Amino acid sequence: MRWPPVSNAEWIERIKARAPANERGCWIWQGSKNGLGYGEAAFRGVRKMVHRFMYELTVGPIPKGMYACHHCDTPSCVNPAHLWIGDHKANQRDMIAKGRHVAQKRTHCLRYGHPLSGDNLAFHEGRRSCRMCQVIRNRVKAGWTEEEALNTPIIPAGQVTARRKFTGRKRRSVTVNGGNGD
């Protein structure tokens, strides 16, 4: 095989020579890979992701802003039969449907480590979130220090307790009995 390859068929053969097939039919790139496991190489003087280049060689150009997504969920796979074109949202939906999205595997919130289960689990715009962290954020927005917001117990809704009231321009805080919590 001559170097550099001139035709698309020569490029395809060169890529296939460095990507042996596995039992699932994936052609696993054996060359250099980026931190996410996607193959990278220089083609025609330009550094490219190998799976994207293989798709362009075999199927056609990838529209601007679109992704070459994997049906097989193997980043180093360069088999064009395993690739499809989609935008960022379609790729995210595919990850969620297959249970590969990192947020689906999270059992505790990132900020304070509260469990993401039971009464503490909330959904906001289709995403899981931590109710306790939301209360803490609301308290800080209302003028509490972060230390106060973290160390004051969170009272379940409907339970009557002392509540905070702000007075004056300096927003000094005083306690008023008979309030209803946060």
Question: Helix or strand or coil: residue 23?
Answer: coil
pLDDT (tens digit per residue) in 136-165:
999 999 999 988 988 888 766 555 555 555
Is residue 174 over pLDDT 70?
A: no
Q: Which residue has the higher pLDDT, 33 or 44?
A: 33
Supply the pLDDT for residue 142.
93
Supply the pLDDT for residue 53.
93
Supply the pLDDT for residue 25.
93
Supply the pLDDT for residue 96.
78
Cis peptide before 20 (omega within 30 of 0): no
Is residue 30 over pLDDT 60?
A: yes
CB atoms within 10 A of CB 18: 15
Distance, CA of 45 to CA of 17 (rounded, Å) = 20
Which of 15-24, 70-79, 100-109 is least confident? 100-109
Within a 13 Å sphere around the CA of 166, how many CA atoms are in the beta-carbon half?
A: 9
Supply the pLDDT for residue 120.
84
Beta-strand pair 121-124/163-167: unpaired
Show Cβ contacts of residue 75 under 8 Å, excluding neighbours closer than 6 positions. 33, 36, 37, 38, 51
Is residue 106 over pLDDT 70?
A: yes
Supply the pLDDT for residue 152.
86
125-137 burial, b at 16+ Cβ within 10 Å, e below that, comes to eeeebbbbbebbe
DSSP bridge partners of 176: 163
Q: How confident is the model at residue 180 (pLDDT cuts 50, 70, 90)?
A: low
Supply the pLDDT for residue 66.
94
Is residue 58 over pLDDT 90?
A: yes
Element (H, E) at 167: strand 163-167
- The pair of three-digit structure tokens given for residue 19, joined into one six-digit string: 């990507």
Mean pLDDT rounded to a whole number for the chain: 82
